[in-house]
Amino acid sequence: MAVPAVAQSGAELADKEVTVDGDTESVYLEVTNTSGDNLNYTVYGISDGLSTEVEAGSISSADENDTARQTFAVDSEKYDSYRVLVTEDASDSDEESADSIEIGTTVNQASGGGVFAGVGGGGLFTPRNILIGLVVIGGAYVAGFLDPLKNALEG
């Protein structure tokens, strides 16, 4: 969710809750083209409707066409969701802003593992790779590239 954000002193720029599960690797916060000053963020873990602050800090992407990204590890056994709140720095008199603020999750990528990863996994011997190998061998046989091998096996 990208949200243009401009606010008054100490005001809320973004507030989003994201659900996590065993496949969630992290929660991220991305800001693009901030006004030059840091934006403050607070991350809350939420379980059974109760929220607990798990991290707080500041983030800035002051350079033109610059995006800053902050990731937060999740504990899906402890929390059902995380809430990220981004606010302007209330300690000064100017207004902080950002062209966009995005909050979301990244998930673990399933890893195949080994040479024989099975159907749907990574690895060398996947159904797709076996099919490609058979097509290549069939083409080589038809083109005559395997004649020396065929002759050696026959006699």
Instruction: Map residue 147 onto helix, strand or coil.
Output: helix
Whether the Cβ atoms of residue 112 and residue 103 lie closer than 8 Å to each other: no
Locus of tokens 């999740």: 74
Q: How many angstroms separate the Cα of 101 from the Cα of each of 31, 57, 98, 118?
A: 5, 15, 7, 40
Per residue in 56-82, pLDDT (tens digit) is 999 887 677 788 899 999 999 999 999
Kindly report, residue by residue over 14-45, the tens digit of the pLDDT.
999 999 998 899 999 998 877 767 889 999 99
Class for domain 2-107, per CATH?
Answer: mainly beta
Write out pLDDT tens, residues 80-123. Answer: 999 999 998 777 767 777 888 999 999 886 555 555 444 445 56
Where do the domains of the chain lie? 2-107, 110-155
* pLDDT for 118: 47
pTM confidence score: 0.63
